[in-house]
Amino acid sequence: MTSKTFVVPNISCGHCVNTVQNELSELQGVATVSADQDTKQVTVEWDAPADWESISALLDEIGYPAA
């Protein structure tokens, strides 16, 4: 299992947190997603077929790109 913690500057409220968590959780291979409104940090754990490129691309697509 691969894990990565990164900052998403566009997180500004609880709705943002829910959107990021819900959208990433739907990617096949993503095991856990944890986002924090105050620190703007997101931690994702995944296995194949998910990879960082697909996670990053989805974040860009939904308007919450990783810094």
Residue 67, domain member (yes or no):
no
CA–CA separation, 10 and 19 (whole Å): 11
> pTM (2 decimals)?
0.94
Structural domains counted in the chain: 1
pLDDT digits (tens, 9 = 90+) for 33-49: 999 999 999 999 999 99
Residue 57, domain member (yes or no):
yes
* Domain assignment of residue 12, given as a range: 2-61
Residue numbers in the chain where pLDDT is lower than 70? none
Cis check for the bond before 49: say yes or no (omega within 30 of 0). yes
Cα four-point dihedral sign 41, 38, 29, 67: negative
**Contact between 41 and 33 (Cβ < 8 Å):** no
Residue 18, domain member (yes or no):
yes
Please tell me the predicted confidence (pLDDT) of residue 11: 98
